[in-house]
Structures are given as structure tokens and as C-alpha cells.
Amino acid sequence: QVQLVESGGGLVQAGGSLTLSCAASGRTYSSYAMAWFRQTPGKEREFVAAISRSGSNTYYADSVKGRFTISSDNAKNTVYLQMNSLKPEDTAVYYCAADRYFATVAAIDYDYWGQGTQVTVSS
């Protein structure tokens, strides 16, 4: 079992920055691939970014490439999402997810989820 708790969401103006954190506890954190997804009302959960178990590979949705950066600190059992140049269309609830094997773009592949943190970008 892995428990995930997100933090760092909030209200920011367009062009601003936020850093989300996801603290993991339970089984060996470094054994999991981690990802961030986001969701707005009435829409499916959307892939944002992922990082492999080793931390050596990262993946991004085209909509955030060049603006968002995913990273991990295994010593702190935490994964981060640095979000720069935020746009109103980035407004969503952001979820952290963990997979026992691979970093993928499909939400259905992930075994564990956090409760989500709201990010609101005003124009």
C-alpha cells in the first residue's frame, strides 16, 4: 500500500508559477513510477507528467511541455510538479498517482491516487 498526499495548490495569476508536492508513505517509495494528472468538471482525468521508478526518465503532455517539470526526491519520498507560465486552461484539480511498474500516460494503469489539490489560474 502507498498513501499519497498532495499539497501546494492555490490561486495564481496567468503567467505565474506554482509548485505541487506529493508526499508518499507506505511501501518503498522508490519502487514506484509517479505521475501527475488533472481533471476539470465533466471531463476525464488528463495526463500531465510522469517520472520513471529510477527518476531518469520523464514524460509530459504536449500541453505542458516546456512549462512544467516533474521531479522526485527519494530521500523525502516526495514528487514535485513545478508549473511555470501558467494559463487559465491549466485550472483543474491535480492528482498524484503511483504505479508499481511503469510510468504511463493512462490513468487506468495507476494503482494509487492522492485526494487532489485545486489549482486555479486567473486571467
| Digitized pLDDT (tens) for each residue of the chain, 123 residues in all | 889 999 999 999 999 999 999 999 887 656 789 999 999 999 999 999 999 988 899 999 999 999 999 999 888 889 999 999 999 999 999 999 999 889 999 999 999 999 999 999 999
pLDDT for 94 = 98
Rounded Cα distance between 12 and 30, Å, is 31
User: Taking the CA of residue 18 as centre, how many other CA atoms within 13 Å lie in the half-sphere pointing to its CB?
Assistant: 22
- Decide if 121 contacts 88 (C-beta within 8 A): yes
pLDDT for 120 = 98
pLDDT for 122 = 97
CA nearest neighbour of 27 among 53, 55, 1? 1
- Decide if 33 contacts 101 (C-beta within 8 A): yes
CA nearest neighbour of 97 among 40, 26, 47? 47
